[in-house]
Amino acid sequence: MDLVIRNARVIDGSGGDSYTADVGIDGGRIAEIRKAGDGPRPSGQRTLDADGLALSPGFIDMHAHSDLALLRDPDHSAKAAQGVTLEVLGQDGLSYAPVDDRTLAEVRKAITGWNGDGCDIDFDWRTVGEYLDRLDRQGIAVNAAYLIPQGTVRMYAVGWDDREATPEEMDRMRQLVAEGMEQGAVGMSSGLTYTPGMYAKDSELSELCKVVARYDGYYCPHHRSYGAGALQAYEEMVNLTREADCALHLAHATMNFGVNKGKAPDLLTLLDGALDAGADISLDTYPYTPGCTTLVAMLPSWASEGGPEAILTRLQDDATAEKIRHHMEVIGADGCHGVPIEWDTIEISGVSDPGLASCVGKTIQQSADMRGEEPWVTARRLLINDKLGSTILQHVGHEENVRQIMRHRVHTGGSDGILQGFKPHPRAYGTFPQYLGRYSRELGILSLEETVEHLTSRPAARLRLPDRGLVREGYRADLVLFDPETVAAGSTFESPRTLPVGIPHVLIDGKSVIEDGKRTDVLAGRAVRRTTA
């Protein structure tokens, strides 16, 4: 065989008890698993002694924002060093395919804060299939699956107007979604607090979900509120997908802001009722309390109609800017989940203009206090000067909610990792070792076997991948070796780009991506396309 891993503590991803075995790899797949004492040991051209280490399937990041990072950064240690062997891209309804020239230019501006402006990327694709082909042609650090972004689809077919789609536009959106699914997408995402995706009514979303369901894909919404009305927003997505007979995966399923403190049981009761009634639902979370997005996302949707240039025009007009402030601070903007904004919870984590770097690491309130001005004045200036490119950490989560949701029977792991900015959220570099180290070993929220199941076989089942997510003979050799006693996230809010410890080996397709704790030059990742198997 190509490689034999000896004396591994196999945590196979099923949730069952671990066992000691030798695991043989050949041709990129697991060829033999020989438990200790069960006859002759397999032999290989290379051997790796795993004594003291756990061997598990590679981790699947169900919510990643590496759409351009995989093309820009061949190393991609942010994810590879965590043991991530597959990321799901195209999240929150906004990404770079399918597009035409106009839509591509607009979406690049709209999500500069997530992925950079892309000036270093050759955008030589327009369709979903061409984007996936580009990943394959270039070679990438880890595998990647793709969700069709509903906001981009609406941008393409309708534009940035807050109105219902015409029958012709609706047909065009159905066609774009069908083409994307045929070309290999695993489902469709939405960002229903982001423009222009939020302008879609449930009837429009349902029609697109019906298309996704025909291809056995799933719908992954960032729903309409994680604050005021969060429970109703979850219920809306459950009802919508049940009506469309479409599988549902709830993105970064949190209950945030003061109004939702202690309300995780209400969400879980809602989901359990739907699951018991036959709904096909899963969810992902990250093991941290703050969220992360862009500062412009906090604006009311009416202020974002028309796209980035229209937003900047409104911000530069004093009278309109005052209306925006009133909506955000007094009424509660839909961009801030219906909750009046608290500027001391909004920390600037990144800026597009390096000249504004002094803002990073400070809340809007702190920067305003230093200037002796109202926080909206500070926020407005930053939005204009940074051309809407600023990212934020939003400190509005609750630890008890995080812990209760991660125990749920359909829970999976997702980093929601934004890799841009001077001070990104540590979840981008730390989500998976944070689960293994802090929440499993230290806090005992989940056993190690349960934790691995949440991060491997559960997401593989949602993605309908028949040969990933378990340590089984015949399965792909996407594997992680980690030390259960030391594995931990190195990233912190102070040093967010520090790599984890206790993960010495990561293999993709049987090839070493991380070896003895260091990134190799291997680019074993490929696009993972929808399968009907």
Angle separating helix axes 167-182 and 150-157, nearest 10 degrees: 130
Tell me the two tokens of residue 523: 């680019």
Q: Is 56 helix (H, G, I), strand (E, B) or coil?
A: strand
279-315: pLDDT as tens digits: 999 999 999 999 999 999 999 999 999 999 999 999 9
Contact call for residues 8 and 26 (beta carbons, < 8 A) = no
Cα separation of 374 and 367, whole Å?
Answer: 10
Instruction: Give me 362's structure tokens.
Output: 């400070």
Average pLDDT (390-395) is 94
Sign of the CA dihedral 177, 181, 184, 189?
A: positive
Average pLDDT over residues 83-102: 98
Rounded to whole angstroms, how far apart are CA atoms 49 and 4? 9
Judge whether residue 532 has pLDDT over 90.
Answer: no
Kindly state the average pLDDT of the residues 391-405: 96
Distance CA 254, CA 492 (A): 20
Distance CA 111, CA 95 (A): 8
Q: Mean pLDDT across the stretch 415-426?
A: 92
41-81 residue pLDDT tens? 899 999 999 989 999 999 999 999 999 999 999 999 999 99
What is the pLDDT at residue 531?
77
Query: Measured between alpha carbons, how far is 287 from 281 in angstroms, rounded to an integer?
Result: 20
Please report the pLDDT score of residue 39 as a whole number.
84
pLDDT digits (tens, 9 = 90+) for 95-143: 999 999 999 999 999 999 999 989 999 999 999 999 999 999 999 999 9
Asked if the model's pLDDT at residue 533 lies above 80, the reply is: no
How high is the pLDDT of residue 250?
A: 98
Helix (H, G, I), strand (E, B) or coil at 295: helix
Chain mean position to CA 364 = 26
Q: Which two tokens stand for residue 117?
A: 């402006």
| Residue given tokens 């939003």 in the structure block | 394
Q: Output the pTM of the full model.
A: 0.95
- Give the model's pLDDT for residue 421: 83
Q: Tell me the average pLDDT of the chain.
A: 96
SS3 30: strand
Q: What type of residue is 508?
A: I
